[in-house]
Structure 1
Amino acid sequence: MRLSLIRRACAAAVVLAATMAPAVAAQPDGSGARGGTAALSDIGAKARLLGAKIVPHKLAFRGTTVGGLSGIDRDPCTGEYVAISDDRSVLQPARFYTARIAVDGAGVHSVDFTGTHPILQPDGGVYPPVSTGDGKAVDPEEVRVDPRSCDYWWAQEGDRPKSSDEPVIQPSIQFAARSGAYHGQLTLPPNYKITTRDWGIRRNTAVEAITFGAGGSVLTSAVEGPLLQDGPEPTLQHGALVRVTQHSREGDVLGQFAYPLEKIFTAPDGSSTYPPDTGVPTILAYPGEPSRYLVLERTWVAGAGYKIRLFDATTRGATDVQHIDSLKGQKIVPMRKKLVADLADLGLSRIDNTEGMTWGPALTNGERTLVLVSDDNFAEDAVTQIAALGIR
């Protein structure tokens, strides 16, 4: 699992190029990432809806309840898909599913589950329910198929407790056999840790997005929301900066960049005590373009529901912030981005809690399919939806 010297040199060159741009003041509202048409001429995909299929609510499959699907990836070894459930071992042990999804230019024709396995701890046991309070629970959020071995890498958010009486569960990126057996975990950068002070990862906004790039030699991760020291979460007036990190396969940080998260799109109507929630639940590397990503931003506002937007983003020219403890007040160049699509504008009949995406098969017209999955949280008023877009 070591990078060759050539691959290390290439990865280092990408990071070096990204840090040579002159620094300018970061714009937490996201405007600093859209510096005009000329600056964005190298990115800007287009999307169209191909179709969607809704999985029956709480579908029973091999002794488990299908739901909570928060991450999805296409398996290059089989052509099937793997999806991870964010059930924190409450209904059944934390687990993933495999499925055949028939997708082409005419839409999503069928979703057929083919297998399920629990995610195992290093000792070979399943993860306990979060309610046990023993500090060993997990919150699975993302899964990727290793393009080299076809084993699974998965990310979990951990838990910053509400009180000092509860255990801290650190976020992690782990790798596992296709059977779910534990194979190891990636060393995370220090600023991805949950600390006992007002520093590090916020509660429920930790590592929720990972993706392979550069032929599998680089794993990129993104935290869902801003670190505590990097400033407040998005508001109606201002966006925020979230950290995106490029790792080597053995955990070395090749570069860390600030992605500009959009401000909240509308005010809540007072129908819920829950505040607006927004963040980056998934990120996807472009094949053959190690600095370019599709980034999904998911926002929920009481009374307005979900807004799901896709952005084409690049680390090229962005400041490497891995050694900057706090982004507040710092003069940096954030990642540039350009809107690809607001799902509400594509004609999708149901906009729900979309949290996972993966590249699907290529189409004959030159488009790549993008397969999306929504996390129903096992709630009666939500859906598990598999949608497909054509990306050009």
Structure 2
Amino acid sequence: MKASLIRRACAAALVLATTMAPAVAAQSGNTGDTAARFDIGAHARLLGEKIVPHKLPFRNTTVGGLSGIDRDPCTGEYVMVSDDRSVLQPARFYTARINVDGAGVHSVDFTSTHPFLQPDGSVYPSASAGDGKVVDPEELRVDPLGCRYWWAQEGDRPKSSSDPLIQPTIQFAGRTGQYRGQLPLPRNYESTRGDWGLRRNKAVEAITFGDGSRTLTSAVEGPLFQDGPEPDLEHGALVRVTRQNREGGVLGQFAYPLEKIFTESDPTSPWGPDTGVPAILSFPGDPSRYLVLERTWVAGAGFKIRIYDATTRGATEVQNMDSLAGQKVVPMRKKLVVDFHDLGLSTVDNTEGMTWGPALPNGERTLLLVSDDNFAADEVTQIVALGIR
């Protein structure tokens, strides 16, 4: 998500720092009006965090805008996508060694960067080019079968009729950015010029491999126009989650219940609240179970970051429903794993990416998350590590 207009005072110094905090258990019981009790529920504790220096220069690029992260099983390194729309440098991704264990995040060392390439081998032009070829990279996953990259970009639903309409895509790339094709998306993942389909900056921002790498699940960041309004102080919203095979065939589509806005906005701010699902992560061994990241920003209150344990078991199949508004839909059930405000972090920022890390000797699995600083001085690039049980 582009959040360059989001500004707030930042409590963290923009230097490398590591923070430790005591364990935080998952909350029990229901979350919201739509989440029923069920027999799964992960627990989380903070292992540590690291703040990357603001606008860190690396190999003639500016590190920032990191909106997705995944662990590369072929190297043990991490791959992070920047959502720079070729404004500072061509749309690109980074690799890094992240030293993390049960005692915290010890170091983050960037090792390479490559631009995403178009089918003709050229880099993507800046958004200012106006030629309809711009991309908005938001998520990247390493294909466990061969370790090439699958990456999602939101496209653009223009504000003006004179601007090009750019559809979202999930593309395949070689390990140095070469174009290798793309995954067909479901028909309701299209942007339109009318009040139908994807909202602007609320498109395909979350993808994850699952079921032994046989499937790819994607989540739309916000509700489709026809599925109802965006969340407010009184009501949440339903966003679509789609499971596909590796050829693009839809295996199932479900409605995920996005939380309502957590507090009122500063009435003097010109910006309304912003909320959505920027990342989803499959549980190993259970193709119906996911960690879902919800990120919300409210003027005057800042960010709220929450992770939920969710399942498609028992949820209504919605791929053939043109609209969810007014329909009897059983959404995915979910349970809160952790609210970042309960972790004792140096700051809670614009967290948008998450991935599984290495297993720990005590049986926990590490979960790494990264925040998108929007290249803004009052936001941070923050790596957070949790222990998940």
Contact 2:31 2:335 in 1 (8 A): no
Distance in 2 separating the partners of 1:213 and 1:119: 24
Contact 1:278 1:300 in 2 (8 A): yes
Deviations 1:325-344 (A, max 9, x none): 00001011100000000011
State how 1:113-128 maps to structure 2 within 5 Å: 113-128=110-125
Which amino acid in the other structure matches residue 77 of structure 2?
E
Match for 2:293 among 276, 290, 296?
296
Contact 1:32 1:334 in 2 (8 A): no
Distance in 2 separating the partners of 1:244 and 1:141: 16
Match of 2:42 in 1: 45
Match of 1:33 in 2: 34
Distance in 2 separating the partners of 1:318 and 1:56: 43
Match for 1:173 among 170, 179, 204?
170
Q: Which runs of 4+ in 1 moved over 6 A?
A: none
Which runs of no fewer than 5 residues in structure 1 stay unpaired?
1-28
Match of 2:371 in 1: 374
Say whether residues 1:211 and 2:196 are aligned partners: no
Match of 2:234 in 1: 237
SS for the counterpart of 1:131 is helix
How much does 1:347 deviate? 1.1
How much does 1:51 deviate? 0.2
Contact 1:202 1:225 in 2 (8 A): yes
State how 1:119-138 maps to structure 2 within 5 Å: 119-138=116-135
Say whether residues 1:84 and 2:85 are aligned partners: no
Distance in 1 separating the partners of 2:349 and 2:316: 34
Match of 2:4 in 1: none
How much does 1:289 deviate? 0.6
SS for the counterpart of 2:375 is coil
State how 1:282-361 maps to structure 2 within 5 Å: 282-361=279-358
Distance in 2 separating the partners of 1:153 and 1:216: 12
SS for the counterpart of 1:191 is coil
How much does 1:228 deviate? 0.5
Match for 1:254 among 251, 255, 267?
251
How much does 1:202 deviate? 0.3
How much does 1:31 deviate? 3.9
Match of 1:263 in 2: 260
Match of 1:6 in 2: none
Contact 1:30 1:260 in 2 (8 A): no
Match of 1:279 in 2: 276
Say whether residues 1:363 and 2:364 are aligned partners: no
Contact 1:30 1:239 in 2 (8 A): no
Distance in 1 separating the partners of 2:136 and 2:129: 14
Match for 2:149 among 152, 171, 174?
152
Match of 2:23 in 1: none
Match for 1:69 among 61, 66, 71?
66
Match of 2:53 in 1: 56
* Aligned-pair Cα RMSD in Å: 1.0
State how 1:173-192 maps to structure 2 within 5 Å: 173-192=170-189
Which amino acid in the other structure matches residue 95 of structure 2?
T
Counting aligned pairs with the same residue, the percent is 77
Contact 1:73 1:145 in 2 (8 A): yes
How much does 1:196 deviate? 2.2
Deviations 1:342-369 (A, max 9, x none): 0110111110000000000000000000
SS for the counterpart of 1:234 is coil
How much does 1:30 deviate? 7.2
Distance in 2 separating the partners of 1:94 and 1:272: 31
Match for 2:386 among 381, 384, 389?
389
Distance in 2 separating the partners of 1:215 and 1:60: 37
Which amino acid in the other structure matches residue 159 of structure 2?
K
Distance in 2 separating the partners of 1:237 and 1:231: 14
Match of 1:99 in 2: 96
Contact 2:31 2:336 in 1 (8 A): no
Match of 2:10 in 1: none
How much does 1:271 deviate? 4.0
How much does 1:170 deviate? 0.5
Which amino acid in the other structure matches residue 34 of structure 2?
A
Which region of structure 1 is more displaced relative to structure 2, 81-90 or 270-279? 270-279
How much does 1:272 deviate? 2.1
Higher helix share: 1
SS for the counterpart of 1:255 is strand
Contact 1:72 1:358 in 2 (8 A): yes
Distance in 1 separating the partners of 2:329 and 2:62: 46
Which amino acid in the other structure matches residue 44 of structure 1?
G
How much does 1:189 deviate? 0.6
SS for the counterpart of 1:291 is strand
SS for the counterpart of 2:226 is helix
Distance in 1 separating the partners of 2:167 and 2:268: 33
Distance in 2 separating the partners of 1:219 and 1:385: 27
How much does 1:32 deviate? 4.9
Q: Give me the TM-score of the superposition, normalised by structure 1.
A: 0.91
Which runs of no fewer than 5 residues in structure 2 stay unpaired?
1-29
How much does 1:33 deviate? 3.2
Say whether residues 1:196 and 2:193 are aligned partners: yes
Contact 1:292 1:312 in 2 (8 A): yes
